[in-house]
Structure 1
Amino acid sequence: MPIDPTQLAALSAILRLGSFEAAAGALHVTPSAISQRLKALEEQVGATLVLRSQPCQPTELGARLAKHAEDIALLEAQALGDMAQAGATPARLTLAVPADSLATWLIPAFAEAPQMLYDLRIDDQDTADDWLRRGAVSAAVTGHDRAVPGCDLHPLGALRYVATASPEFMRRYFAKGVTATTLAKAPMLTFTPKDRLQHRWITQKTGKHLHPPSHQMPSTHAFVDATLLGLAWGMNPESLVTEHLAKGRLVALDPAQPMDVPLYWQVTRVMAKALTPLTRAIFRSSTKHLRQTGETSPTEAHN
């Protein structure tokens, strides 16, 4: 039996807004009507879809059905041409993206494709494609060069990182040089437990697998602020620290050892056509802001 689209809309609104009351306001119906629609949908699928918490949370099936409702809305809008019509209610798109990409080059792409409402899942580039495997997002910026089954993969370029610290931090911890011994003792930053970027740089630099003391800070700009204030060293996107490096507020731990992280745009094939305007905007922004194959910096060209 086909699912009633008003029931799917109710489910999506509850999970997006966090309560039956808010969903009722967004859909211009009563909370009782929202409750009845959700109950009918749960009876039809034979499972609980929403955990009645504050805010409401989805079950695994509830999240998949809500995502299905968003996909249908996007496909219908694309088929009917509503995505280009002024005044049309924008369809919602759920994406998984790394925080550093969001802070450096993704927002201009979103601004070029404003016909959608963006619902972002922030995750490390090495694990963002897990959201695609679970069917929880329609597209993702990932760090893997192998497409998730059912997805198209497009290379974007590489986001360059520089291991940076304040001059005072360098004097305190690296007076004898940036070595395996000094790196093992110097506090570093990590974004989340998934973040291995600092560890990868240490291995690239020293050939060793070390486990230094670390602060966990899930914020791109907090990384920059923490390094500026001498709290720790960390891998910062080059574009965010270029001016700080030029003015001596930050120092590269090893100017000859940047780290380029390749990025890829993965889109589920069923949604690829509807997301073509966004994909084109992603390509334009990545070409402008990310390092393309064979690209070197002026300092590298003279080394």
Structure 2
Amino acid sequence: MSNIIYIGYEFKVNPLQPGIEILIAELGYSGFESFVENETGVTAYIQKEEWNESILEDVQILNSDEFEISFTFKEIEQTNWNQEWEKNFNPIVVDDMCSVRAPFHDKPNTKFNIIIEPKMSFGTGHHETTHMMIQHILKNDMADKSVLDMGCGTGVLAILAEMKGAKPIDAVDYDNWCYLNSMENVARNNCQYITVIEGDATVLKNKKYDIIIANINRNILLNDMETYVSCLNENGSLLLSGFYNDDIPMITDECEKHLLKFEEKLERNNWVSLKFIN
């Protein structure tokens, strides 16, 4: 079997946060499949056969006035990605109740123990938005509630919802890699009530849920808010994240336009998560 050749990009990012998180998310959508964070930024890898000279054209953060980002790149021979991933992925614990770890980590003493292999999918629990969504799920009654995890990434939020008694659960993501990764992680955690769906908000037609979890980004949330509200059962809850403090007025205005009432705000390193009810 011939070696796979990768192109490795070394990005220097200032300020590091939230620059690295935004950069990784945008690079993932552009086809990069592995990331290793370091003290000055992040190294990103893409298979040479998937690479082209305009690969960074849609990476908008590179043109942002808010961040200084420089990079170099070079060809790299085949790398043991599992080994690299093991070195750089640490287990997390949220509120001493929920752990998110890889199969090779020791099992911590927490009530909820989620095992994932995130690959390039978003949602390990390390990012502020996923962390806050886990906090919301831990605090809210999930027993026998129908749940939508919109933009499910690794499936970690849907998995925790089932562990807390929710059923049935739909986990939706338009990215094929996330869809496949969620399928793997749902099976790995022996979940019985989660249906993973590849698609966007158009797949939600005629569906109803008691709780909708949407951890995406501001523009998609605003665009799809009407769909989410139409899918929300009476006395339902809408949990939103993927945006900053400065975005709150815009998100709140859109929710209130659809007669949703604000109930709770969580904040972590300028990222925000909001809970609304109808």
> Between Structure 1 and Structure 2, whose CA radius of gyration is higher?
1
In terms of fraction of residues, the more strand-rich structure is 2
- Is TM > 0.5 for Structure 1 vs Structure 2? no
In the superposition, the TM-score normalised over structure 1's length comes to 0.29
1 or 2 for the larger relative contact order (CA 8 Å, sep ≥6)?
1
In terms of fraction of residues, the more helix-rich structure is 1
